[in-house]
Amino acid sequence: MSSFDDRAATWDDDPGKLQRASEVASAIRDALVLDGSQRLLEYGAGTGLVTQALRHLVGPVTLVDTSAGMRTVMLAKIAAGAISDARVWDLDLASAPVPDERFDLVVTVLTLHHVHDIGVVLSKFAELLDEGGRLCVADLVKEDGSFHGHGVDVHHGFDRSELATALTAAGFIDVEFRECHDIVRDRATYPMFLATCRVAGLR
């Protein structure tokens, strides 16, 4: 059982997480033109909060998470009608092949820092997108390791230029960054960025 399984049932009880999802979704809305048709895949969707905030602006939704607890919460929301036209996948692109489906928009929020080899997963995002499809990565700005505590094997946020280089290597163009939220924890502030980019033409 992952630590996310333990936290899934009470994840949405934290007003900070609701506010974060709302501000990230707002930044995505500001950065992209969403016309209600885009096929959205949210990777590492947790309880689906960001997708819920974007739901009326996109088309069919695919919610991906490796945590069974998180998937249970999302399935309950779908059954209750809180997220419409949605399905849930158990998929780890770090090891699994790319499914035989294509999307117009991939969104991933605070998940990439849990992925050891981000190049592999970013390349698979590029494969999942139809030509011109968009990727939105919201994550921590480079931090000192205190966000998760020392000894936890995750990326300590991302440096913009290093992530831009990784996105370009994975096949993305038009990479842009903006600030999207500040997480305040134990009197420390951890800024988050939103990176948006577009998959390059025919590959």
Ligand X SMILES: C[S@@+](CC[C@H](N)C(=O)[O-])C[C@H]1O[C@@H](n2cnc3c(N)ncnc32)[C@H](O)[C@@H]1O
Question: For residue 107, what are its two tokens?
Answer: 């969104």
Beta bridge partners of 63: 42, 88
Q: What is the Cα–Cα distance from 137 to 135, expressed in whole angstroms?
A: 7
Q: Distance between CA 32 and CA 172 in Å, rounded?
A: 15
With respect to ligand X, which residue has the nearer C-beta, 65 or 143? 65
Part of the chain binding ligand X (CB under 6 A), chosen from 97-105, 109-117, 178-186, 194-202: 109-117
Question: x/- contact string, 64-93, with ligand X (CB under 6 A)?
Answer: xxxx--x---------------------x-
Q: How far is CA 81 from the centre of its chain?
A: 22
Question: Which has the closest alpha carbon to 73: 62, 60, 82?
Answer: 82
With respect to ligand X, which residue has the nearer C-beta, 39 or 114? Answer: 114
Q: Which of 39, 74, 83, 114 binds ligand X (CB under 6 A)?
A: 114
Decide: is 94 part of the binding site for ligand X (CB under 6 A).
Answer: yes
Is residue 121 within 8 Å of 92, Cβ to Cβ?
Answer: no
Binding mask 25-64 for ligand X (x = CB under 6 A): ------------------xxxx--xx-------------x
Report if residue 115 touches ligand X, rule: CB under 6 A.
Answer: yes
**Which DSSP state fits 115?**
-
Among 54, 88, 109, 135, indicate the residue that binds ligand X (CB under 6 A): 109
Q: Within its chain, how far is the Cα of 144 from the centroid?
A: 22
Where on the chain is the footprint of ligand X (CB under 6 A)?
A: 4, 17, 21, 43-46, 49-50, 64-67, 70, 92, 94, 109-111, 114-115
